Every structure is written in C-alpha cells, then in structure tokens.
Structure 1
Amino acid sequence: MVHWYESSLDRQLREAAEQGEFDNLKGLGKPLRDAGREYEEDWWVKDWLEREGATAGVIPPSLALRRDVEDLETKVDRLRTEGEVRDHVAELNERLRKARVGLMDGPPVVLPPRDPEKVVAGWRERRAKI
C-alpha cells in the first residue's frame, strides 16, 4: 500500500499549476541566469541593480555628475526650447561648481563648466539635421 502525503504548500502549488497561474511567466523555458557561476557574496545586489536599471541612486553624486556631463548632448537633444537648454546647462554648471568646492559626496570633480552658447549652438545644429 502506498501512502501519499501532500503538505498544504504542495497542494497550493499543485492547484496553482493546474489553474495555469504559472503559464506565460517571464523567462519560461529559458535557462537560469548564471547557472553554475561561482558564488559571489553580493550577487543579489548586482542582480537587483541590473534588473532595476538602478545607477544614479547608488553611486556617489560626483560620479553621477560626471555621467551627466558625458550625456549632456543626449539630454539637451530631448529638450524643446533654447531656454530649456540654457536652464539645463545652468543647473549642470551649478552642480559642477558645488563639486569643485567639495560640497558633493564622492571623488573630486575637476571638470570645467560647460559654455551655454556652445551647447545651444550644438543643439541647434543637431536639430537642423532632423
């Protein structure tokens, strides 16, 4: 005689599967990511950052500022008016000033302020090509 025991958790899982609640889950039929990877102590942090696309909130403000300077053209190209571009450059320059005098956490930033006229001129040129 075979005795069969099903815990309440096993029953809930079986019923959910029978009702199709696990059908069409994201990643269904795909291998587990990093299967067989060596154990990393902070694997869950790295996984969360990648999943959530989190960057600026978890890096020091001075490093986020460097990224903002690198992405300046991309950011201003999304703006609609010269005034918005000038305001964006003014805000960026104020953050650069604060970083240079040590009012911002993180590694020191020695980037010069951006010339609003040059940024606006570049913005105009790129818009004219569209």
Structure 2
Amino acid sequence: MDRFESLAERRIREAMERGDFDDLPLAGQPLDFSDVDDPQWWIKRWMEREQIDTAALAPMVIQLRREADGFPDALRRFDREDDVRAYLEDYNHRVKQDRVESRFSRESRIIAPVVDVEVTVVRWRELG
C-alpha cells in the first residue's frame, strides 16, 4: 500500500478487492458524454430514465390549452354524458382558477379558452 494513498483511493481499492465492482450493469461499455455541454444534461437524462412526462412541467395555462385542443376526441374515454359534463365543468373551473392566479403574476397574458359545455357535449355525442 502506497503511503500517500488517499482515503478515497483506499476505499476504492478495498471495494475492488472485495469484488464490489464485478458484474455491474453496462460494465465495459463506453460512457456517453455527448450532452455534457448542456448544463442541464443530468436532469434531462434523469427525466428520460424515469419516464417523467415533461408536458407536466409546462405552465398551467399551456397545459390547459393543450387539453382543450384535444376536445372532443379526448372525451371518447367517457361512456356517460354526465361524466363528460362533469369533466368539462372541472376543466372550465381550472381555467378560471388559472386566470385568477395569473392575474397577479408578471408572466405574459396567455389565456386558456373556456369551453361551451353544451356544444362540446353535442360534439362528443357525434363521435359515438
């Protein structure tokens, strides 16, 4: 043992002697450093590995607009008109809540549309 071996080096050597690094997944494969110039590379890789939906990270108004863009097709999952109405009323409530909350922020004034529940229910019926 080298007299000047650091604590970290000693622990690594001891772990190697115990076989702690044997049979690790991806052993012998090159490391991927293709994106390390991006300061957020680690979080992007983590989100991809954990299969985190990045759409959920968008501001609420953007999420609401995307949701409205899916009407009426996104409503196909419902079998009952009462469920469609309840869902659309909840959507409108969330839009109105977002408008109240964003009124006090400095962000740009993007707004999500309130949907006409009756018109959208009719369009949903036509899908069925």
Query: What interval of TM-score do these two structures reach, taking the shorter chain for normalisation?
Result: 0.5 to 0.7
Of all paired residues, the percent bearing the same amino acid is: 26
Alpha carbons 1:90, 1:116 under 8 Å: kept: yes
TM-score scaled by structure 1? 0.64
Quote the residue 2:20 is aligned against: 12
Alignment of 1:69-108 (within 5 A): 69-100=68-99, 102-104=100-102, 107-108=108-109
- In 1: Cα distance, 2:67 partner to 2:31 partner: 34
Verify the 8 A CA contact 1:93 1:113 in the aligned structure 2: yes
Cα distance change, pair 68–36 in 1 and its aligned pair in 2 (3 A): same
Higher relative contact order (CA 8 A, sep 6+): 2
Q: Which residue of 2 aligns with 1:60?
A: 59
TM-score scaled by length of structure 2: 0.64
Q: For the residues of structure 1 that align with 2:117 and 2:127, how far apart are their CA atoms?
A: 15
Indicate how the Cα distance of structure 1 residues 49 and 73 shifts in structure 2: closer, same or farther if over 3 A, else same: farther
Deviation at 1:31, TM superposition (A): 7.7
User: Are 1:118 and 2:119 an aligned pair?
Assistant: yes
Q: Distance in 2 between matches of 1:63 and 1:49?
A: 20
Q: Deviations for 1:62-114, whole angstroms, at most 9, x for unmatched residues?
A: 222222212333431111211111111111111222233x3246643434321
Q: Which secondary structure does the structure 1 equivalent of 2:101 belong to?
A: coil
- In structure 2, runs of 5+ residues without a counterpart are 1-11
Indicate the residue corresponding to 1:3 in structure 2: none
- How far, CA to CA, are the matches of 1:38 and 1:7 in structure 2? 28
The structural deviation recorded for 1:42 is 0.7
- RMSD in angstroms over aligned alpha carbons? 3.1
